[in-house]
Every structure is written in structure tokens, then in C-alpha cells.
Amino acid sequence: MANTILIGAQWGDEGKGKIIDFLTETAEIVVRSQGGNNAGHTVIVGGTKYVLHLIPSGILRPGTKCVIGNGVVLDPIAVAGEIDGLTAKGVSVTPENLLISDAAHLVLPYHRHLDEAREIAKGAGKIGTTKRGIGPAYGDKIARVGLRMADLLNPAVFSEKLATRVAENNETLARYGIAPLDFEQTLAQLLAAGKSLAPFVGNTVVFLHKSVREKKHMLFEGAQGTFLDIDHGTYPYVTSSNTTAGGACTGSGVPPHHIDSVLGVMKAYTTRVGEGPFPTEDEGLGDMLHGMGREFGSTTGRARRCGWFDAVAVRYAGMINGIDTLAVTNLDGLDSLASVKICTHYRLNGALLETPPMDYAQLAACEPVYIEMPGWLTPTDQIRDWNLMPERAKDYLLKICDLSGAKLSIASVGPNREQTILL
């Protein structure tokens, strides 16, 4: 497998974790390059379910090296806890298989408090964040007042910088009526987490470039999805990082000419968690999927909003990310439907649109234009061979990929590793 960037082509939770796990049979290095523990990537192996938040999904494959790149925002207490949780489940996490960038910015307790306070203050206009402090942490990074992993490893420097930041943030928290953080206690907690993470920290750029020279196969594990991208998503109902393919390069220090392909992951339908416009949202479809016990968030447990497949959105995702091939997951979710809808265009004020408008109010006003295809009314979860797939299911998969402008490469019919069909 060549060096591949894997991204979510919709609003996140496309099944990236499952596909990464499948592909790491051949990838030697898996790199996270943006986002933080707002991500929740589910991988089921041998009947055990793992939900990975910050640690790359490749950690479950012995021999795979996982890298948390400079573009990630990292909550040291959360990542130390995630390592402990994996270890308790028998997954080996050591400096041999996990390397964390010394340039990654930290998500600190005041970021979490601010995230929550700002959401409450927004009332009905809230974004519906995961409350993990992601927006405030990236905000500090851009404002050049962030603290990084390298700072945490130098207690004297860290203590001094943190003191200034805690004092300033306590004033802001007071305006929201939130109790101030106790500096000494906060410092002690963070230094303890820093101490346990220290053996994992290094210069990830140097490591990745050595790996490029050694022709190691790398997989870049995108978090969130295209329409949550800070530049290209449904702003302001987005996350605070570049979730699209370019983010993998800036967030890892691996330049574009070392990337061989971009794989888009999408569901056979659409989901979104959090607020913001969602043209193909369909409550009936949501009720059906929730009734099957599906589509509850892996990070926050919230019921995901559900809708029909949106080819307008994925076509646009194809442009931004340069998607070469598509992996379609959750086909089995549609098995029981007599007919399935696909959105091919939006209608806005009488005009037919091929691409989504960037203004969220306009997007919210778009009406989906659908084609309808007959359902296959056959369980697909036991199918392992493309040739044994019901013809109507094949037609549907090929149609949504065709409308999205890229070739189908993987069809997923269940959450387990083996429920995957490689074309």
C-alpha cells in the first residue's frame, strides 16, 4: 500500500476507524495529524470493541507504529487515561509503537471549561461541540498563547507559562460564573500526566521523513469529516481544525509529493452529530436506524442525526480532498428498505445547485432533489464477496460512487474487520 490519506467525506463518524484497522494489515505507520479527543473511532476486533479518541487506530495491530503529529491538540490527562485504558484491555502501548510530537499543542483544563461555558452562553445558537476544549485550544494556538508538549516536559518553563495562562483564563471563567482553577492542583495533575507521557514524546517530523526514505507505507488517519473542516465546512457549525486532506500534510510535516492517494470514507447514508445545516436529514430514517441500536455517538453517546446519501456534499468533498477512491460503510443499515433515496442536487430559490453553498443559512434553505432506487431487501452483513452481493445493492453502491465522482474500493457490511469487501 502506498502512502494514503484517509479522510471522512461527510460530517464525521463515517467508519474511518474500522477502515483504518482493515488497511493497517499492510500499513506500517498510522499518523493522526489533526483534531483531538473529540474524535471517537470504533474498531471491533475479535468481539472486543475499542473506541479510540487520540491514539491512532493502528495501535491494535502489533508491529504498527502510531504517530500523533504536530497538528493534533492533545489533552495530556485524557491521553494518559486512554493509554491506561488500552493497556488494561491487553493492548500494548509503548514508545516502540507510539510516538507523540513535541510540537503538538495541549488541551488544558481551562479550554474544556471555556468550551462548555461558551456553548451554554450561546443558548439555542450553540454548535453542539463535544465539550473537549478543542475550539479554545486551537484558538490559543492561532493566537500564539498555546502551550505545547515540549513545554510540558520542562516543569520550570511549564509552571511559569501555565501560571500566566491560568490567571488570565480564571478571569474569563469568572465572567461566565465558573469557579477559578486552582493553579497548584492543575499544575500537579498536568505534570503527572506529562511525566507518564515523556517516554513517548519526540520529533515526529524527523521520524516520518526517515520512514519516507525507508519507503515505509504510511496511512494518515483523518479525524472528523470534510464538512466539519474549519475552512471548508458548514462554518460556524464545524470543528476547529483542517479535517480535509491538506491538513494531513501541515499536521504531520510530510509534504504533498510524498502522498500517493486519498481515500474517502463515507456511509451509505449520512449522519451528523451536533447542530448545523443538514439538507438530507430524514427523521424517519433516523428512527429506523436508532431503533436498530445504531447511530449513537462514540464520544458523547448523543443520538446522531440521520439522512439520505448526499452526493452533492460528497462530490464537493472529492474536489477539496482529491479523493481517488471511496470506502462505503454501513451498507447493511439500508438492507430492510424497499426503496432508497439519493440526493443528486440541491434546489435553492428555484435554481438547481451541483455544489453546496458556503453560507450556512443558504445551505439550510436548500431543498434536496432526490432520485429513488429499489432496495435490495436482503441481509448483506454475511456477504464477503462482491460477486455474491445482491444486484440492487451493487447498483446502489456504484451509483452513489459514480455521482460522487470517485471509484468504489471498499464496501463495508458490518462493524467487524472481516465484514469488509475489497474490490
Of 23-31, 82-90, 129-137, 212-220, the window that binds ligand IMO (rule: CB under 6 A) is: 129-137
Whether 13 sits among the annotated catalytic residues: the reply is yes
30 lines the binding site for ligand IMO (CB under 6 A):
no
Partner from ligand IMO, ligand GDP, Mg ion, none binding residue 15, C-beta < 5-8 Å depending on class: ligand GDP
70 lines the binding site for Mg ion (CB under 5 A):
no
Pairing mode, strands 41-45 and 339-348? unpaired
**Active-site annotation holder among 21, 41, 151, 310:** 41
Q: Which is nearer to Mg ion, 13 or 335 (CB)?
A: 13
Give the one residue of 10, 11, 13, 249 binding Mg ion; rule: CB under 5 A.
13
32 lines the binding site for ligand IMO (CB under 6 A):
no
Partner from ligand IMO, ligand GDP, Mg ion, none binding residue 180, C-beta < 5-8 Å depending on class: none
16 lines the binding site for ligand GDP (CB under 6 A):
yes
10 lines the binding site for ligand GDP (CB under 6 A):
no
The site string for ligand GDP over 28-67 (x = CB under 6 A, - otherwise) reads ------------xxx-x-----------------------
- Tally of CA atoms within 13 A in the half-sphere of 199 that contains its CB: 9
Please state the three-class secondary structure of the chain as a single string. Answer: CCCEEEEECCCCCCCHHHHHHHHCCCCCEEEECCCCCCCCEEEEECCEEEEECCCCHHHHCCCCEEEECCCCEECHHHHHHHHHHHHHCCCCCCCCCEEEECCCEECCHHHHHHHHHHHHHHHHHCCCCCCCCHHHHHHHHHCCCCCEHHHHCCHHHHHHHHHHHHHHHHHHHHHCCCCCCCHHHHHHHHHHHHHHHHHHEECHHHHHHHHHHCCCCEEEECCCCHHHCCCCCCCCCCCCCCCCHHHHHHCCCCCHHHCCEEEEEEECCEEECCCCCCCCECHHHHHHHHHCCCCECCCCCCECEEECEEHHHHHHHHHHHCCCEEEEECHHHHCCCCEEEEEEEEEECCEEECCCCCCHHHHHHCEEEEEEEECCCCCCCCCCCHHHCCHHHHHHHHHHHHHHCCEEEEEECCCECCCEEEC
21 lines the binding site for Mg ion (CB under 5 A):
no
Of 153-161, 240-248, 282-290, 412-420, the window that binds ligand GDP (rule: CB under 6 A) is: 412-420
Q: Which is nearer to ligand IMO, 146 or 274 (CB)?
A: 274
Query: Which residue's C-beta sits nearest to ligand IMO?
Result: 274
Partner from ligand IMO, ligand GDP, Mg ion, none binding residue 412, C-beta < 5-8 Å depending on class: ligand GDP
Give the one residue of 132, 141, 148, 341 binding ligand IMO; rule: CB under 6 A.
132
Measured from the CB of residue 181, what is the shortest distance to ligand GDP in angstroms?
A: 31
Of 5-13, 88-96, 377-385, 397-405, the window that binds ligand IMO (rule: CB under 6 A) is: 5-13
329 lines the binding site for ligand IMO (CB under 6 A):
no
In angstroms, the Cα distances linking 44 to 17, 23, 47, 243, 338 are 9, 14, 6, 24, 29
Of 37-45, 251-259, 345-353, 415-423, the window that binds ligand IMO (rule: CB under 6 A) is: 37-45
414 lines the binding site for ligand GDP (CB under 6 A):
yes
CB 111 within 8 A of CB 118: no
280 lines the binding site for Mg ion (CB under 5 A):
no
Give the one residue of 9, 11, 13, 75 binding ligand GDP; rule: CB under 6 A.
13
Q: Which is nearer to Mg ion, 79 or 383 (CB)?
A: 79
Partner from Mg ion, ligand IMO, ligand GDP, none binding residue 410, C-beta < 5-8 Å depending on class: none
Q: Which residues are catalytic?
A: 13, 41
Site residues, Mg ion (CB under 5 A): 13, 40, 298
